[in-house]
Structure 1
Amino acid sequence: MEQPNLDYINELVGNDQAFKAKLIATIKEELPQEIAAYQESFNSANYAAAAGHVHKLKHKISILGLEKSYYLAADFEEELKNNQTGLATDFEQIITSMKNFAAGL
């Protein structure tokens, strides 16, 4: 499984450490909230809302350099729109790794 990283952020910010710090602070603040919102919708079997949360989380997945995981999330988003949950376990692994990574930043 691929691991979250700061490669994209480092490429994006160049030498602007203030901008990097702001991006990281935003991720650390928003990611747990977005994950909690997804989990609440998913656990309530509100798959349409869960799909919306997955869509938002895809942006964080991309920013944290998880290219393959981005495509899995896109597939999972489509599954949820069709009331299917086959990729839920794989998606949970992705968001857990992201949450752990963000907590260590």
Structure 2
Amino acid sequence: MKETPNLEYVDNLADGDVGFRLKFIGILKEEFPMEKKEYESSIDDSLFREASEHVHKIKHKLNVLGLHEAYTLAVQHENELLNGNYSFKQEFLLILQEVERYLKTI
């Protein structure tokens, strides 16, 4: 079964506080596109250590959005980047695109 982003964690964390929920979603929508762009730029420039730092930030948002398998892949990608290997690049980019599409719908 394919994972799909969701707000279950955010809703549980907000515990009915609509203002908190909206603020949290707003932060995700503001930060994620910038982090995605920075990651892509680092990858394009073969700055693997820098790219791993961006993956480190992004992976927590994946977890928050209920993408636990994607989080696991991000951990692997982060570690591989530190070794100069970007073999998970395509898979990770697909995840980022899916999250970006989802964030535009909420």
TM-score range for the pair, normalised by the shorter chain length: over 0.9
**TM-score, normalized by length of structure 2?**
0.97
What letter is aligned with 1:33? M
1:25 paired with 2:26, answer yes
Q: Give how far 1:104 is off.
A: 1.1
* Identity value in percent: 35
Question: Following superposition of structure 1 onto structure 2, how do residues 1-105 of structure 1 map, counting pairs within 5 Å?
Answer: 1-105=2-106
Q: Which 5+ residue runs of structure 2 have no aligned equivalent?
A: none
**TM-score, normalized by length of structure 1?**
0.98
Structure 2 residue matching 1:53: 3-state secondary structure: helix
Number of equivalences: 105
Q: Tell me, in whole angstroms, the C-alpha distance in 2 between the residues paired with 1:78 and 1:104.
A: 31
Structure 2 residue matching 1:85: 3-state secondary structure: coil
Q: Tell me, in whole angstroms, the C-alpha distance in 2 between the residues paired with 1:88 and 1:37.
A: 14
Structure 1 residue matching 2:16: 3-state secondary structure: coil
What letter is aligned with 1:57? I
- Runs of 4+ aligned residues of structure 1 deviating over 4 Å after TM superposition are none
Q: Give how far 1:92 is off.
A: 0.6
Q: Tell me, in whole angstroms, the C-alpha distance in 1 between the residues paired with 2:4 and 2:93.
A: 14
Cα RMSD over matched residues? 0.6
Q: Give how far 1:103 is off.
A: 1.0
Q: Give how far 1:76 is off.
A: 0.3
Q: Give how far 1:77 is off.
A: 0.2
